[in-house]
Structure 1
Amino acid sequence: MSDDRWTEGPEVSSGSVDPIPGAASDDAETLRERQRLAQLEMMDHWIGGVLTEQRRTRRWKLFFRLMTLAIVLAALFTTFYSLFWDSSDVTAPTQRHLGIVNVSGVIASDSPANAERVIRGLNRAWEAESAAAVVLHINSPGGSPVQSQRIYAEIMRLREQGDKPIIAVIEDIGASGAYYIAAAADEIVASPVSLVGSIGVIYAGFGFEEAIGRIGVERRVVTAGENKAFLDPFQPLDEEAEAFWQGVLNQTHRQFIDDVRAGRGERLSDSPDVFSGLVWSGEQSMELGLIDQLGSLEQLSRERVGNTDWVDYTPSLDAFERLTRRFAQLAAEVLGVSSPNTPLRF
């Protein structure tokens, strides 16, 4: 032990050891000062966070205000452009051409393929002196019987005047109400693989009367008229109501058949399948007399005017109308309230 250098030297008592520097100064006043400084630091940090959040909020408010202003300005510009600069009349070229009227998509009063728009296009193309023919450019699965009948009647009216031919050209599909429209034309042209026909009437619905009982929900319907709610999906459809509704469909189908026969005349085949609701290819339709020629819009244009020259006379939808229409459709789909204006469909 005597050789241990750590134990060598004079013994020092514990009372003679100097205290830790600064330890004695850590009195109550110093602690309070430290607490105050810590609180101030926390306060500064909190205030900085609040200011940052306020700046972020102001930036978002400014962004949304600018977006709102941009939308308003775009709407105003579109409105003034359509009123003062965008003429609703197409300036027809002097050379001979085909006057095109598009029937695209579902035929309905609230869709681009509505009767008012198509009829306006028909008359504009009919009145164009340099238009060698009026061409209904159809790509539609059908739709509203009323809208289809309105267009059909207008085509027949123009056709009776006999000033220029009205020709229907079917692209991918010209079925049901779309074929109803095409039947009024002087001629119908389709591709060999186009879908044509579907001369029938359909009503589709659901019956939830058992499901609603299983989940314990009571259906409350109050009507004036004993048959007012006969198509309510939560009530059974009895035989009498079903027979009545079938009579409505049969009568509508008969009107469809009569108008197709009036438009096509003796060109139609006598096959009973023609009016059965079946859809046919272009080649099959040719054999059944549903169409007159296999071809395309380009081929028709070369035959009629010597080149592929045509002008679209379909009234345009302005940008704001397209935007609002699309927004309304999306809102209806999200809310689950999208439905046709009529339960019957061609």
Structure 2
Amino acid sequence: MVRFVRKLLPRRWRPDHVEIPVVRLHGTIMTGGGPFRQNLSLATAASVFEKAFGDKDSPAVAISVNSPGGSPVQSRLIFRRIRDLAAEKNKKVYMFVEDVAASGGYMIAIAGDEIIADPSSIVGSIGVVSASFGFTDLIKKIGVERRVYTAGKNKATLDPFRPENKEDVEHLKSLQLEIHETFINLVKERRGEKLTDNPDLFTGQFWTGLRGLELGLVDGLGDMRSYLRGQYGPKTRLRVIAQPRGLFGRKLPSAETRMGELGANIAGGIISAAEERALWSRFGL
């Protein structure tokens, strides 16, 4: 309401500062997560993007990224939505890396017209990884017989309770190579001649923000407040655009959902937490 009233005032009476909307993209990138847990995906970020880019008075949108990666699909969907809105609303996009923007987190970061990192941030990891476990010996020891019935010989591909199959692994690697190539092309498209010819650039290796600047992965070093004030003046203000929240900070599910899905949510939450912890741990965080 206050911002609407300001627009009605003569320009000479309006505040002489620039206000920049800020979006925080923090967490592992994956869908789902249960009612008490929310990961980063297009579904969780879309409404915030619309609000931030819908600010007609702001010349830019600032986005802070802190993610070790996750789903390549959700990463690219978020990237695409940012670029589409930037073009539609004619906004410049500044990306600010906090602890880490790696793998899918870096894919999101390259949606920025400029990427600014802390010297000690972790950036890069332009690669694709899949991880699983094998339980074939375990189920034998505890006397469990695995029974799988399929229509189609490949429906049980990479079943963790069956011995590893060479053909399954080769198929998985071929998928990874395709996804990796898509990632590489996206980085080259966005970063262009800024990138160096370092042979490790697309191997999945990761670096500090300081080294990332030398490699062309980022455009500068600094923090959001100082950098934006350097761009738009000392009176620049930052306005954080937050997700709508329910009681206790999250939108709570209905009573039926809480009772009917409690067990599944607990089990899913444990698995999700383990996956998330593994992603963060890869970068020493």
TM-score by length of 2: 0.79
Residues 47-105 of structure 1 show CA distances to partners (whole Å, capped at 9, x for unaligned) of xxxxxxxxxxxxxxxxxxxxxxxxxxxxxxxxxxxxxxxx9xx9797641111111011
In the alignment, structure 1 residue 103 sits paired with structure 2 residue 31: no
Mapping for residues 158-173 of structure 1, pairs under 5 Å: 158-161=85-88, 163-173=90-100
Counterpart Cα distance in 2 of 1:98 and 1:288: 29
Measure the CA separation in 1 of the matches of 2:110 and 2:53.
18
Following the alignment from structure 1 to structure 2, what is the Cα–Cα distance between the partners of residues 92 and 153?
34
Q: How does 1:63-82 map to 2 (within 5 A)?
A: none
Distance across 2 between alignment mates of 1:115 and 1:336? 20
8 Å CA contact 1:92, 1:311 repeated in 2: no
Separation in structure 2 between the aligned mates of residue 192 and residue 330 of structure 1, nearest angstrom? 43
Deviation at 1:290, TM superposition (A): 0.4
The equivalent residue for 2:220 is: 293
| Aligned CA distance change for structure 1 residues 332 and 322 (closer, same or farther; 3 Å) | farther
Superposition deviation, residue 198 in structure 1:
1.2
More helix by share: 1
Instruction: For 1:231, give the aligned amino acid.
Output: L
Q: Secondary structure at the match of 1:100?
A: strand
Confirm or deny that 1:215 pairs with 2:142: yes
Which consecutive unaligned segments of at least 5 residues does structure 2 have? 7-14, 33-37, 280-285
Partner of 1:189: 116
Per the alignment, do residues 260 and 317 of structure 1 end up closer, same or farther by CA in structure 2, a change over 3 Å counting?
farther
Aligned pair in 2 of structure 1 residues 232, 200: CA closer, same or farther (>3 Å)? same
Partner of 2:267: 335
Partner of 1:59: none
- Shift in Å at residue 304 of structure 1? 2.6
Amino acid at match of 2:267: L
Contact 1:135 1:169 in 2 (8 A): yes
Match of 2:282?
none
AA matched with 2:245: L
Of the candidates 205, 219, 224, which is equivalent to residue 151 of structure 2? 224
Q: How does 1:66-145 map to 2 (within 5 A)?
A: 95-110=17-32, 111-145=38-72
Native 8 Å contact 1:100 1:137 kept in 2: yes
Cα 1:259–1:179 change in 2 (3 A) is same
Deviation at 1:114, TM superposition (A): 2.1
C-alpha distance after superposition, 1:230-285 (max 9, x if no partner) = 12111012111110111111111111111111111111122121111112101010
Pick from 193, 209, 218 the counterpart of residue 282 of structure 1: 209
Segments of 4+ in structure 1 off by > 3 A? 90-95, 158-162, 327-340
Q: Secondary structure of the equivalent of 1:180?
A: helix
Superposed displacement of residue 151, structure 1: 1.0
Q: Distance in 2 between matches of 1:92 and 1:260?
A: 42
Distance in 2 between the 1:181 and 1:142 partners?
9
Distance change (3 Å), C-alpha of 1:269 and 1:233 = same
Of residues 237, 250, 254, the one that matches 1:309 is: 237
Which of 173, 193, 200 is matched with 1:266 structurally?
193
Tell me how far apart the structure 2 counterparts of residues 299 and 336 of structure 1 sit (CA, whole Å): 41
- Pairwise CA distance, 1:334: 4.7
Cα distance 1:136–1:330, how it changes in 2: closer, same or farther (>3 A)?
farther
2: distance between equivalents of 1:337 and 1:159?
34
Alignment-derived partner of residue 240 in structure 1: 167
Please tell me the residue identity of whatever aligns with 1:305: Y
Q: Which has the higher contact order (CA 8 A, sep 6+)?
A: 2
Once the 2 structures are TM-superposed, how far is the Cα of residue 164 of structure 1 from its aligned partner? 2.3
Residue matched to 1:55: none
Please give the TM-score of this superposition, normalised by the length of structure 1.
0.66
Shift of 1:168: 0.5
SS of the residue aligned with 1:273? coil
Aligned partner of residue 139 in structure 1, secondary structure: strand
- Find the structure with the greater CA-based Rg: 1
1:338 positional shift: 4.0
CA drift of 1:171 comes to: 0.8
